[in-house]
Amino acid sequence: MKKLIGMVLCIVLLCAFATPAMAASEDIAFTDDSDFTAGGLVIVDPVKTINNIAGHSTAEVYNAYLYGNVIYKWMRNDSFYEEGISVVLTEQDKGCTFQCIATLYTDTAKTQECATITSPKFAVPNSDSLSPAPGISPDDLPEGTVGEAYYLQLECTNPNVDYSLMDSTLPDGITMSSKGVFEGTPTEAGYWYVRVKAQPQNGSTYGTMEYVLVVKEAVSQYSLEIMNLPKKLKYNSGEKLDMTGLWVRIYTPDGFIDSRDGKYLTYSQKPLVTAGEQKIKLSYEDTFEIFIVTVAAAPAEDPAQNPAEDPADTVKPTEPEGSSAPEEIESSVADTGDAEQPVQKPEEDPAGTVGMAEDEAGKGMPWWGIMLIALGVAASVVIGIVIKKKFL
């Protein structure tokens, strides 16, 4: 008896291990362009399907589908209809219910079954009761502005839809979710053609809506108005701007400010070089205004009036009259330890009556000495005359 019970338990265990692991779940998804009406084509989407499997299945089941070890079977009113990754619906299928069942195998020969997955059931509508395509609203998208937040929620007559873009793009900074929400902050201005698709989750006919999304440039809060131009509007090449007399009114959200002679404004401080008319840009915050000045070309130099300087013809500066040459000045410096000063020659007597006598050492005689000599000479002459008259 014990042997019989043991044999039964072994058989049960063997059957349990021999039976493939079944994991029936609604993981099969269809492509976005599948048509579930009579005459339409319904196609399994492998990418969406394997993403669904990855969420809960084992590695064995995932690899089986990844390597294509799968057989698709289409059921019509719960009875086998045909095999394949897609099915074509006909007029005879109106009012019928379809479902796709996929069997997964661990081997390429598809002999070792490991799991079964299914799709949601869908019904092919009758010609007199076709499900209308879902309607999307609003009819137009509101305009956006560069640098400002954008938000819009699409609405649909079928609340259970997934939204996506068809052959179109959005401005940089704006995205659209599967729930039909446009949001973000645009970074560029322009026009974008946008086509939105609303796909019902039960697989029926999808709806579309076409839009033109306009994004405008940001509007500044400030503006400038030139009331008076500067007094000087004509320049020679190389001159800098002179804003004297310029009067600009700066409009702000709180009123306006008057700028005089360029105050509060930003403008170029570089010299004007290029000849002709030049645009002068006056900036304040994120706005600006422009006025025109005229720049005259620099006059060409005349070689006849400005000859090239030749080192050989350079005229050296003349020494002041009466001054010593550099060598003489240097040799005439008194050795006193003070700052060097050249010894100057004495000035001549303007009357010319008194001469400066010099002895052998080169020193001058005092005036009283000269007078004594003169008196001696005169006395000698007088004495000579007297003796001559007396004795002759």
Domain of residue 168, CATH code: 2.60.40.10
Note the residue count of the chain.
Answer: 392
**pLDDT over 80 (residue 152):** yes
Query: Are residues 85 and 43 in contact, defined by beta-carbon separation less than 8 angstroms?
Result: yes
pLDDT at res. 177: 95
Within 8 A by CB and 6+ apart from 72, the residues are 44, 83, 84, 85, 100, 101, 102
Same domain, 164 and 117: no
Residues 6+ away with beta carbon under 8 Å from 308: none
What tokens does 255 get?
């009123």
The pTM of the full predicted model, rounded to 2 decimals, is 0.35
Cα–Cα nearest to 99, from 71, 74, 81: 74
Running DSSP on this structure, what letter comes out for residue 69? Answer: -
pLDDT score recorded for residue 292:
94
Q: Given this model, what pLDDT does residue 382 score?
A: 75
**Distances from the Cα of 280 to the Cαs of 39, 230, 241, 265, 277, in angstroms?**
69, 11, 9, 12, 10
Nearest-angstrom CA–CA distance, 122 and 29? 12
Burial (CB < 10 A; 0-12, 13-18, 19+), residue 87, is buried
In a domain, 245, yes or no: yes
Residues 149 and 124 in one domain: no
Give the CATH number, domain containing residue 122. Answer: 2.60.40
Per-residue pLDDT at 260 exceeds 50: yes
Q: Cis bond leading into 317, ω under 30°?
A: no
Q: Would you say residue 38 lies in a domain?
A: yes
Predicted local distance difference test score (pLDDT) of residue 350: 45
Q: What does the pLDDT average to over 194-207?
A: 82
Domain ends where: 296, 323, 349? 296
158-162, 173-177, 219-223, 360-364, range with the lowest pLDDT:
360-364
> Is residue 43, in this structure, part of any structural domain at all?
yes
Let me know: does 163 contact 154? Beta carbons within 8 Å.
yes
The predicted pLDDT at position 216 comes to 93
The residue segments making up the domain with residue 274 are: 223-296
Whether residue 101 sits in one domain with residue 24: yes
What is the rounded average pLDDT for all residues in the chain?
78
Q: Percent of the chain scored above 90 by pLDDT?
A: 42
Give 47 or 205, the one with higher predicted confidence: 47
Q: Report how far Cα 55 is from the mean position of its chain's Cα atoms.
A: 42
Residue 226 has pLDDT above 60, yes or no: yes
Q: Do 112 and 23 fall within a single domain?
A: yes
Max mean pLDDT among 23-37, 165-179, 307-321 falls in 165-179
**pLDDT score at 392:** 58
Ranking 45-54, 217-226, 350-359 by mean pLDDT, the lowest is 350-359
Between the two ends of the chain, the Cα-to-Cα distance in Å is: 211
